A and B are shown apart, each in its own frame.
Chain A
């Protein structure tokens, strides 16, 4: 909807302007301050952390915390750093995102352009799956993965992430295809294209924006997942978030805050980069997830 930039509504006296900008500056500082502290701390030595102010820039700039976090720090009894867990997460995220996005696209296509009697029921059941607290399915899921012999295995986590992500991806694609002109499907039908031809040649190539939204949403959710990781994996099979938590909460030895901060940044980096590179789509995903149904 249109909004005029020069509306009287937004004309304030200089004092009010200063207050507005002041408040916003304060907000920005308090939002950035933890990130700043994380970054400076990760370049300090433990010595310096104990001695100096948390906010101060590193005096003796060191990369050791990063190196340690990546390949030397101890998670449990295993002291090979976080790198293997980082790869674990990637191994789970990539197939999880691709498969759930693809399924969502298929479902959205069927639920808007090839409706069948009862399609609303199917959508309702899929959608409701987005909202259940995972605690309510944790025990059966753990048992099932055990029975299928895929617990503590990337395949198990991938399956779980697909099962609980497909509701959201279906929602995204359904809402996108809902306003996608049905005439295009009709035109292609008259020209002789079938179900799959229309999907692969017309729908999917026109869905780049929603594919990106879906990709970011799923990537963020799966990468940031903790509860499935901690419940279904252990030892060398744990994903990055669980490893970070184990590292930071290990009760033995000295708390190496600089290493913890470096590790936290490493764990945050993929989603943070994705957010910085594609903020617009990230916001769209959040909004689409918020305005449901």
Chain B
């Protein structure tokens, strides 16, 4: 069942502004899909189009091969967990869970049995008589999920469900959601702007920007092969380093040159004596033609993307690495538990590198600001990505 939920050519605009532009995607039964993007990218609107709560101009949405456009939200057999949980304040937890079934005139005995089951599953049996106002954030979250579960819908929609919880609870609920998905084999579409949530939960992530799906792939692919600099920057913390570089061929081998920040501008294009030369990633060396085309079209100008973990200080590079060393001036050292990140400057470009937390590092002391502190960093160019300097799309 590859096309359990299919969205074709969906376009939605509001006040002449296009919010969703020709969205196409299909989702298999049992998949956990995350819609990821910055606020205002249209991900919540897409979710609401799937529910049928807001109308759209063109395109079709079908579930299980059946077109949903003319079908009311109530009859789409979809359940949704809202960011604010949307628990009915005037009803206790039991009523909240059973409300939908009562509307559908399900027999009382069946309702009771189902409520018990789902309350057991989500460990909220003790709270069935309480009003939502008397529950903690985590408990409300569970009730909201229970309310969605109890109807056994075809598709679950989650609209940033964890964003109102505190950090620790969020991590717990993330794990529980993952377990729940595995246990129920449910089809889930989950909206978030938190890339960690997306990476940990999703089977596939749809990264959205300006009303379009930019990339729709597995978390691994999205992390390692982002389609453009936007996706590359949106996923991964700390943010990927992006440096302007120039492709040059020297003695038959391709190299990447990085010029100092100020000398890269048109004004002072003289004497580029101060630069760094780096080897290119292995996977690019077979694509001579493509590289030549870049030299022809853009003077060889590219954007070099390297994730912080590929720039390391005093740690071992992997065996297949294409190594290089550079000298960098340390700005700040940011410890973050297992790793320590070093924000430093290479020829004026700010980059972030990773060091092991136990690596000895002299932080530049604040009292002697004039004293510079240089360290040597190892770069694995094999993990580097090249982007077109104009379109910012990944090259190969």
Q: Which residues of A contact B (CB under 8 A)?
A: 181, 183-184, 186-194, 197, 201-202, 205-206
Contacts and interface: CB of A to CB of B under 8 A. Distances in A.
Contacts of B73: 186, 189-190
Given A183-B82, A197-B103, A190 B88 contact: no
A184 to B, nearest CB: 5
Contact of A191 (B48, B89, B103): B103
B90 A191 contact: no
Most B CB within 10 A of own CB, among A192, A194, A197, A201: A192
A188 B79 contact: no
B180 interface: no
Contacts of A183: 82-84, 86
5 contacts: A183-B86, A187-B88, A190-B51, A190-B74, A206-B88
A181 B99 contact: no
A192 B86 CA distance: 15
Name, among A183, A184, A187, A194, the residue most crowded by chain B CB atoms within 10 Å (CB to CB).
A187
Contacts of A190: 51, 53, 73-74, 76, 78-80, 100
A197 B88 CA distance: 13
Nearest to B101: A191
Contacts of B74: 189-194
Nearest to B144: A187
A206 B73 CA distance: 23
Interface in B124-182: 147, 151
Contact of B103 (A184, A186, A192, A206): A192
Contact of A187 (B48, B76, B86): B86
Interface of B: 48, 51, 53, 73-76, 78-80, 82-84, 86-91, 99-100, 103-104, 147, 151
Given A186-B73, A191-B99, A193-B103, 10 more contacts: A181-B86, A183-B83, A184-B88, A189-B74, A190-B73, A190-B76, A190-B79, A190-B80, A191-B147, A206-B90
> Which 6 A/B pairs are nearest by Cβ-Cβ distance?
A191-B100, A183-B86, A205-B90, A192-B74, A187-B86, A183-B82
B90 A202 contact: yes
A256 B255 CA distance: 111
B53 A202 contact: no
A258 B51 CA distance: 70
A290 B307 CA distance: 58
A206 B100 CA distance: 18
Contacts of A181: 84, 86
Contacts of B79: 190
B214 to A, nearest CB: 27
A188 B91 CA distance: 13
Nearest to B80: A190
Nearest to A183: B86
Contacts of A193: 74, 99-100, 103
Question: Which of A186, A189, A190, A191 has the most chain B CB atoms closer than 10 A to its own CB?
Answer: A190
Contacts of B76: 190
A192 B100 contact: yes
B249 to A, nearest CB: 59
A186 B80 contact: yes
A192 B105 CA distance: 11
Given A181-B86, A183-B84, A206-B90, A188 B99 contact: yes
A50 B366 CA distance: 91
Contacts of B147: 187, 191
A193 B53 CA distance: 13
B82 A192 contact: no
Nearest to A208: B90
Contacts of B87: 184
Nearest to A187: B86
Contacts of A205: 90-91
Contacts of B99: 188, 191, 193, 201
A14 B91 CA distance: 52
A205 B86 CA distance: 15
B115 to A, nearest CB: 14
A198 B113 CA distance: 25
B156 to A, nearest CB: 11
A194 B84 CA distance: 21
B90 A186 contact: no
A13 to B, nearest CB: 45
A204 to B, nearest CB: 9
A191 B151 CA distance: 9
B111 to A, nearest CB: 13
A182 to B, nearest CB: 9
A145 B34 CA distance: 64
A192 B89 CA distance: 18
B82 A187 contact: yes
A184 B53 contact: no
B89 A206 contact: yes
Contacts of B100: 190-193
Nearest to A184: B86
Contacts of A197: 103
A178 to B, nearest CB: 16
B88 A186 contact: no
- Max chain B Cβ within 10 angstroms of own Cβ: one of A188, A191, A205: A191
A233 B88 CA distance: 46
A195 B74 CA distance: 12
A293 B235 CA distance: 44
Nearest to A193: B103
Given A192-B74, A202-B90, A187 B80 contact: yes
Contact of B82 (A186, A191, A206): A186
A186 B151 contact: no
Most chain B Cβ neighbours within 10 Å, of A186, A194, A206: A186
A201 B104 CA distance: 14
Contacts of A188: 88, 99, 103
Given A192-B103, A192-B104, A202 B151 contact: no
Nearest to A191: B100
A205 B78 CA distance: 26
